[in-house]
Structure 1
């Protein structure tokens, strides 16, 4: 039987070698994951090391072609009427023409129930949206984490990081750094709270054991409905 190890929602195929002295991770061309281990490597130590490298793994997965990412996150079209979400509220895209000689105009701007977007930026639309959501995410998520960390009873590092995490909404390193996907700003505030509580709780319980979920339930009794919403609706955003 092939040996595997599962860390969160990722499965790594294990390859052991008598000549190998260190642990290494690779993301193959087909997006499969491999942990290269010394012959007698301890699985517990391997799992802990993998967890410190999860951001790197997800970033590598995000760059792979044909990994099915489009089934995880919807890829919007930058045409009039396309739907976008920000903090759970739905907006319709409106392309606008800007006079080059006129006053400076933001590429992305919310106005009522519309998201105004400069037409000449359509070719790099997703990049501009990611930049806008990332800027908004930093203060919002830091406030969210600061509010919940006292309730959870943990002390993460001072600032959160916002980046493209590939297939994940968020992650937590063993050093206490919280990482969030910029797309999290599309979620309703109460679902963002759940994601933050989930990651903060990992500073107490690193796995997804019954003890972990019991702690999440103690902190946020309504978490099942938010977790279900994320599974059922997250891919539509």
Structure 2
């Protein structure tokens, strides 16, 4: 298995690992976040060596995946064809195909996922869907930050996408903002609110009245979307 939509993946026998090549890495690092496996490697490391590393750490990876599976919030999703997949306020229908792994893609109102075993491998389908959400977040959120930052009057140094457990975003004193990829399940206006929320923290680092005045200056109807997120956040799970 080589690349899918410009991203590199390896079928490690029971799970799919995303390969992230970095010129800053001198050694390989395997990570399991929310059950999704990534291996960060030096740019020139061969696929054969990557496969050897994944095989060597297979037991450890499986144990980590199981811990994530047991710890995550209960979900009614079965990851079978026909289920609704929310994205920026619209529901797309999941279409699961039994075949070689391919990065999920939107096609005529459906999110098409191809994994070995198809619907008989719900965890693999779930992991593919999570990867898809993260890719969309990595694509959309920096663009939103770039568009909204001038209105706030700030210039963040860095934008990151993370897998937060209980928050939608964060802001560091050094000017870095980070967002939870799950926010991509919310309506577009809610995503705007979360971005503006964190950008305003670059001006006010607390939740004082002065801070909320900054938010209201950029987004006068922010309370509507803040309340929506409070009321519906428990449903934004994969």
Shorter-chain TM-score: which interval? 0.5 to 0.7
- What is the alpha-carbon distance in structure 2 between the residues aligned to residue 116 and residue 122 of structure 1? 14
For 1:164-175, what aligned pairs fall within 5 Å after superposition?
164-175=163-174
Instruction: Indicate the residue corresponding to 1:128 in structure 2.
Output: 128
- What is the alpha-carbon distance in structure 1 between the residues aligned to residue 211 and residue 68 of structure 2? 31
Evaluate the alpha carbon distance shift between residue 196 and residue 114 of structure 1 in structure 2; reply closer, same or farther with a 3 A threshold. same
Is 1:82 aligned with 2:78?
A: no
CA contact (8 A) 2:78 2:122 kept: no
1:75 Cα deviation after fit: 6.3
CA contact (8 A) 2:89 2:186 kept: yes
Structure 1 runs of 4+ aligned residues shifted over 3 Å read 63-67
- What is the alpha-carbon distance in structure 2 between the residues aligned to residue 111 and residue 226 of structure 1? 29
1:194 Cα deviation after fit: 0.5
Instruction: Indicate the residue corresponding to 1:224 in structure 2.
Output: 223
Q: Which has the higher strand share?
A: 2
Q: Which runs of 5+ in 2 are unaligned?
A: 1-66
Equivalent position to 1:113, from 90, 109, 130: 109
Count of matched residue positions in the alignment of Structure 1 and Structure 2: 166
- What is the alpha-carbon distance in structure 1 between the residues aligned to residue 196 and residue 160 of structure 2? 16
- What is the alpha-carbon distance in structure 2 between the residues aligned to residue 199 and residue 176 of structure 1? 10
- What is the alpha-carbon distance in structure 2 between the residues aligned to residue 122 and residue 70 of structure 1? 16
Deviations 1:30-58, CA, capped at 9 Å, x for gaps: xxxxxxxxxxxxxxxxxxxxxxxxxxxxx
Instruction: Indicate the residue corresponding to 1:152 in structure 2.
Output: 152
Evaluate the alpha carbon distance shift between residue 93 and residue 66 of structure 1 in structure 2; reply closer, same or farther with a 3 A threshold. closer
SS of 1:70 mapped into structure 2: coil
Higher Cα Rg, which structure: 1
SS of 2:79 mapped into structure 1: coil
CA RMSD of aligned residues (A): 2.3
1:126 Cα deviation after fit: 2.7
For 1:1-237, what aligned pairs fall within 5 Å after superposition?
70=73, 74=75, 76-98=77-99, 106-120=102-116, 122-157=122-157, 159-237=158-236
TM-score (norm 2): 0.63
1:177 Cα deviation after fit: 0.7
- What is the alpha-carbon distance in structure 2 between the residues aligned to residue 77 and residue 64 of structure 1? 17
- What is the alpha-carbon distance in structure 2 between the residues aligned to residue 65 and residue 115 of structure 1? 23
Evaluate the alpha carbon distance shift between residue 66 and residue 127 of structure 1 in structure 2; reply closer, same or farther with a 3 A threshold. closer
- What is the alpha-carbon distance in structure 2 between the residues aligned to residue 146 and residue 64 of structure 1? 33
Evaluate the alpha carbon distance shift between residue 233 and residue 130 of structure 1 in structure 2; reply closer, same or farther with a 3 A threshold. same
